[in-house]
Amino acid sequence: MEPGEPREVREPGPGAETTPTPRWEEAKTFYDNLTPKKKPKSPKPQNAVTIAVSSRALFRMDEEQRIYTEQGVEEYVRYQLEHENEPFSPGPAFPFVKALEAVNKKLRELYPDSEDIFDIVLMTNNHAQVGVRLINSINHYDLFIERFCMTGGNSPICYLKAYHTNLYLSADAEKVREAIDEGIAAATIFSPSRDVVVSQSQLRVAFDGDAVLFSDESERIVKAHGLDRFFEHEKAHENKPLAQGPLKGFLEALGRLQKKFYSKGLRLECPIRTYLVTARSAASSGARALKTLRSWGLETDEALFLAGAPKGPLLEKIRPHIFFDDQMFHVAGAQEMGTIAAHVPYGVAQTPRRTVPTKHPPAAQ
């Protein structure tokens, strides 16, 4: 008899003590406990909110990157194979992904048959030989990431549309720019300068307004004519919605999932919270931003108009899982205060691009 197997029940002999016969329900429970618990089924990409994350955004791969740069691709692959049973340390996108999975868990409890949930795809130009270490790392942290795209040094951007990507996060600025050019919401994610504890029960996402949720129309006015002309322009066009920016669609997807909680009477307990954190001032230019969101049928839970004040201190209080901004000095200011920030390379505020392409290693995403 195998250890742990139910004992065979025999008829008792004369005078022997009788042992109650195990019921079929008890036997079924016994075998059910031996059966591995299945992970949830992956949704169809066209039904889900798809978040594509690069390997270097999800995990820290600084040592591996150094080896590639100094010793080349063959040594890089050899190192990965030798260390494939050692999980990577969490990278800047890790808390964000964990928060997405926490939301999914609650959505599945409320809507067990719905595929309108977050679907996370690991999108990397790593070689397939590195895949085992990535899989081991994902399993080590109990992440639910079933879809991988490993392109062996080629750009993965062409696959983003095939995966119906709603947001692409990478550590590679050039790849992010390629995605933005293809009309895909994307951002370069950066690690904060110090660790800050973020919520384990509520996904918090903070957005800048101009050139992130909205177009860069207003920033062009500032750059060309100054702040006074900008205030006049915003007042004159207060009731004309701004054109959409690159991350408007992602806010829309978050709002759709929020409404699934609202319809169950859980507005105050909603595990998704969104923030508008803008350098605009409320009195002179805030109305147009709010009216634009309203015209789209969208809203943010909180709107913070800073009138040019630094964003870092407010973000430190919010503690978002990610903050999106189109200007690097706002990203840097958020990093200094412990916020995971992501740069959206869109609009007039961007520096001119390099004309000579830069070589990127397999782990450079």
Give the model confidence (pLDDT) of 105-120 as tens digits. Answer: 999 999 999 999 999 9
Q: Is residue 219 part of a domain?
A: yes
Quick check: 350 pLDDT over 60? yes
Q: Which residue has the higher pLDDT, 206 or 36?
A: 206
- pLDDT tens for 226-237 read 888 888 888 888
Best CA proximity match to 303, nearest among 198, 208, 234, 202: 208
Percent of the chain residues topping a pLDDT of 90: 64
Segment holding 101, helix H or strand E: helix 94-110
Kindly state whether residues 137 and 237 are assigned to the same domain: no
pTM attached to this predicted model: 0.84
Percent of the chain residues topping a pLDDT of 70: 85
- pLDDT tens for 140-184 read 999 999 999 988 878 888 899 999 999 999 999 999 999 999 999
What's the CATH number where 211 sits? 3.40.50.1000
What is the model's pLDDT at position 284? Answer: 83
Longest dimension (CA), the chain: 105
Q: Is residue 236 part of a domain?
A: yes
Which of 281-285, 291-295, 311-315, 332-336 has the lowest average pLDDT?
Answer: 281-285
Q: Is residue 83 part of a domain?
A: yes
Give me the domain span that covers residue 222: 203-349
Kindly state whether residues 174 and 55 are assigned to the same domain: yes
Q: Is residue 297 part of a domain?
A: yes
Q: Which of 189, 220, 241 represents a domain boundary (last residue)?
A: 189
What is the model's pLDDT at position 322? Answer: 98
Q: Which of 135, 154, 189 represents a domain boundary (last residue)?
A: 189
On the 0-12 / 13-18 / 19+ scale of CB atoms within 10 A, 282 is middle
Q: Which residue has the higher pLDDT, 15 or 163?
A: 163
Q: Is residue 14 part of a domain?
A: no
Contact 51, 166 (CB under 8 A): yes
Kindly state whether residues 218 and 316 are assigned to the same domain: yes
CA 185/CA 172 separation, integer angstroms: 14
Best CA proximity match to 238, nearest among 308, 306, 294, 279: 294
CA 27/CA 31 separation, integer angstroms: 6
Question: Residue 154 CB: number of other CB atoms within 10 A?
Answer: 11
CA 68/CA 75 separation, integer angstroms: 7
For residue 343, give both structure tokens: 């740069």
Kindly state whether residues 170 and 221 are assigned to the same domain: no
What is the model's pLDDT at position 355? Answer: 37
Tell me what the pLDDT averaged over the chain comes to. Answer: 86
CA 215/CA 166 separation, integer angstroms: 18
Kindly state whether residues 344 and 208 are assigned to the same domain: yes
What's the CATH number where 138 sits? 3.40.50
Kindly state whether residues 176 and 210 are assigned to the same domain: no
What is the model's pLDDT at position 2? Answer: 45
Q: Is residue 281 part of a domain?
A: yes
Kindly state whether residues 180 and 53 are assigned to the same domain: yes
Mean pLDDT on 341-355:
78
Q: At what angle do helices 248-262 and 94-110 cross, to 10 degrees?
A: 40
Catalytic residues, by residue number, are 208
What is the model's pLDDT at position 247? Answer: 98
Kindly state whether residues 333 and 207 are assigned to the same domain: yes
> Count of domains in the chain?
2
Kindly state whether residues 226 and 159 are assigned to the same domain: no
- Pairing mode, strands 49-53 and 118-124: parallel
Lookup result for tokens 């919270």: 273
Contact 58, 91 (CB under 8 A): yes
Kindly state whether residues 213 and 285 are assigned to the same domain: yes
Mean pLDDT on 61-66:
89
Kindly state whether residues 305 and 248 are assigned to the same domain: yes
Q: What is the chain's Cα-based Rg?
A: 25
Query: What values do phi and psi take at 19, rounded to 5?
Result: -110, 130
Quick check: 360 pLDDT over 90? no
What is the model's pLDDT at position 364? Answer: 43
Kindly state whether residues 60 and 135 are assigned to the same domain: yes
Mean pLDDT on 17-37:
45
Which of 12-21, 75-84, 129-138, 319-328 has the lowest average pLDDT?
Answer: 12-21
Q: Is residue 258 part of a domain?
A: yes
Q: Which of 143, 161, 189 represents a domain boundary (last residue)?
A: 189
Q: Is residue 244 part of a domain?
A: yes
